[in-house]
Amino acid sequence: MSYSTGHPPNVYRPINLFPEYQQFSYHFDYVSIIIVLSFICFIPPTLCTVKMLVFYLKSPNKNTSKDIHPYVFKSFLCMQFCNIIATTFDFIVYRIPCTSFVTSYLSTMKSDSIIRYFVVCHYGFDYISQFYTVLFCFIRVLVLFNPRSHLEVCRILFVVWSLVSVLLSICGSFPHIWYDAVGMQLDSPFQYGAIILTTTFAYGNINILFDCSCVAHQKNDIISASAYIGGYFFSLIVTISIVAITLIMLIKMKNLKLIDQHSKLKAKAETTLKITMCIIIIPSILSQTFALASFWAYNYACYIILVRPVFLDCRVNIVSCYFYWTHPYFKQKVTPKPVSVKSLSTILEMASLPNAYLPIDWFPEYQTFSYQFDYVTVIVILSFICFIPSVFATVQMILFYLKTSTRNGSKEIHPYVFKSFLCMQSCNIIATALDYIVNRISYTTLVTSYIATMKSEIIKRYLVAALYAFIYMSQLYTVLFCFIRVLVLFNPRTHSEICSVIFKVWSFVSCLFSLVVFFTNILSKAIGIQLDFPFQYGAITLTTTFASTNRLQTIGDAVFSSIVTFCIVTMALLMIIKMKTLKLVDQNSKLKAKAETTLKITMCIILLPSMMTQVFTITCFWASTYASYIIFARAILVDCRVNIVSCYFYWTHPYFKQLTVLKPVNVKSLSTN
């Protein structure tokens, strides 16, 4: 939505003053994508923090551990626990409302609603998390300077600091509970309807910062301004304290670099703590810089509101995950299962995981396998989130095509270029969805025990067969899209009849070829294969005996994908050469030029991942020991192609914007306005 002033209406005003917000409908934009991605990135640190808390409560030597000082660990847990709760309330109070998803509901809320309690909790946990951050850094340095740890001193310091932190946090956040809750309209880069939740106590800060002419409620504004400046100086003091303590730690670590060289475990623990403090310091400084910038560059305050949570998330998310996955304290209790001499020699010879590239049906231990969280799960979740916008864009394009009356006569895009593009992306979306069911979820070890105990293999066979069929079909439609695009480019006076014949014949051949692939896999047995590094033990992929044991089929697949890639590369080069000769044509038509640019970049986006994927496929023949790495990387490249193409094409091609017209306004309503 565009605005005459470049800014949404009612900026920094409470939405309850404007009745039109009550009929507001949600509009999807990039902010929603950022919030969804940030929420997904928030899941692993939450899980890690919970696991650390459970580990601490269950650990029999939590007060006598030699790997980490007990009060360093306690302060770290308190810090991260408060950060996790503060971030959760940040989603409720700021992030979800700024997507405009709950604007209509919140515009009807009462002034004394429960929202103000959420605001109070958000401020309270934000303050206390900063207090505990200073405590963690201070105890860490105190222990570093006193290797013979003084438990009694640390215990008193921890108790006193915790008590003071809680009291000061309550004092800083409790005033909000006496004021009314409001939703405030944000400025650019947020859209109209994007709001944040606050109270009239905090809203006075915004009045003073953005509306210096405001004289109403002067007493309250002065109190609010004092609270705003006080909050800023508080975070500034916290940041300076963290920076100073971290510098002291680094200086001390240099002097201690020769101590305990023979203790790898101790050295790793010290390194983890050092890097953890460095991870805390960098986002804190950047966040403080943005907070300071808001005093002078208040016109960009909403840009700061959008960016600042990213830095805070980096601190909260990375610290929890890094600390949990690297500190030896959480690994010392894990003892390997006894392995026989025969299997041990086999593993050493292969330098791989047990049972790598073997069917899990041969090994009964997979039937009792339990899920193990690792970084693959995080990557799969993130890739799924990135997959959602591409599905949305593809569905929107299909609906647009079905609804538009000009689909066979548009001047912005040739109808058969668009049809072949939709077929290509639809097949890609279905193939990716099946890939999640067949492969990617299986990579996480989440369904390993279920698949190992599954008696009927019919469902597995059909899913694997459908995956292979849609992969082949999507590649064939990719060639068709590129071919029709080049054909139309070389023949500006479009031959719809020729394109129609090519489209129908190619579609028939593609479906026929894909059906052959489907039925050859249906007639085979479905199996789960244990993967090798970088996957963990229990990570599997589903396939069929035809696909996994037939060497001829593997070679045929490589040859087929090579031909497809060669065709895409050739046609992309032809398109680029032709576009150079046509660069002076239709200069007066910006719409046409934009459409041509979109198609050109779309083909280039298809080209690069396809070439990289093909390189990895060929590499498999010679570097078979790295097959699992290639499986891992290839999925990411395929996602790049599928996701970026759909989103880029839908959000940049003028064909999808040309029919968006304003509603007619009659004379009476115009004069009234």
CA distances (Å), 457 to each of 363, 447, 519, 526, 544, in order? 17, 14, 15, 6, 10
CA distances (Å), 554 to each of 545, 547, 550, 561, 620, in order? 12, 7, 7, 11, 10
Weakest mean pLDDT among 88-97, 173-182, 567-576, 588-597 = 588-597
Tell me what the pLDDT averaged over the chain comes to: 78
**pLDDT reading at 430 higher than 90:** yes
Please state the pTM of the whole predicted model. 0.52
Between 493 and 284, the higher pLDDT residue: 284
- In single-letter form, the type of residue at position 93 comes to V
Weakest mean pLDDT among 205-209, 210-214, 291-295, 341-345 = 341-345
Give DSSP secondary structure letters for 431-480. HHHHHIIIIIHHHTTTTHHHHHH----HHHHHHHHHHHHHHHHHHHHHHH
**pLDDT reading at 477 higher than 90:** yes
**pLDDT reading at 347 higher than 60:** no
| CB proximity list for 481: less than 8 A, separation 6 or greater | 417, 420, 421, 423, 424
Between 509 and 557, the higher pLDDT residue: 509
pLDDT of residue 104: 84
Q: Where in the chain is the domain with CATH 1.20.1070.10?
A: 15-253+262-330, 351-656
CA distance 86 to 126: 5
Q: Please report which confidence band the pLDDT of residue 317 belongs to, taking 50, 70 and 90 as the band edges.
A: confident
- For the 15-253+262-330 domain, the top CATH level (class) is mainly alpha
pLDDT of residue 251: 78
**pLDDT reading at 178 higher than 90:** no
Top-confidence range, 252-256, 411-415, 658-662: 411-415
CA 327 vs. chain centroid, Å, equals: 25
Weakest mean pLDDT among 325-329, 347-351, 495-499 = 347-351
pLDDT of residue 631: 81
Q: Please report which confidence band the pLDDT of residue 621 belongs to, taking 50, 70 and 90 as the band edges.
A: low
Top-confidence range, 204-208, 420-424, 575-579: 420-424
**pLDDT reading at 667 higher than 60:** no
**pLDDT reading at 645 higher than 70:** yes
Phi/psi at 185 (5° precision): -65, 130
Place domain 351-656 in its CATH homologous superfamily.
Answer: Rhodopsin 7-helix transmembrane proteins (1.20.1070.10)
Per the CB < 8 A criterion, the answer to whether 638 and 440 are in contact is: no
Q: Please report which confidence band the pLDDT of residue 494 belongs to, taking 50, 70 and 90 as the band edges.
A: low
Q: What percent of the chain has pLDDT over 90?
A: 10
pLDDT of residue 367: 87
**pLDDT reading at 217 higher than 70:** no
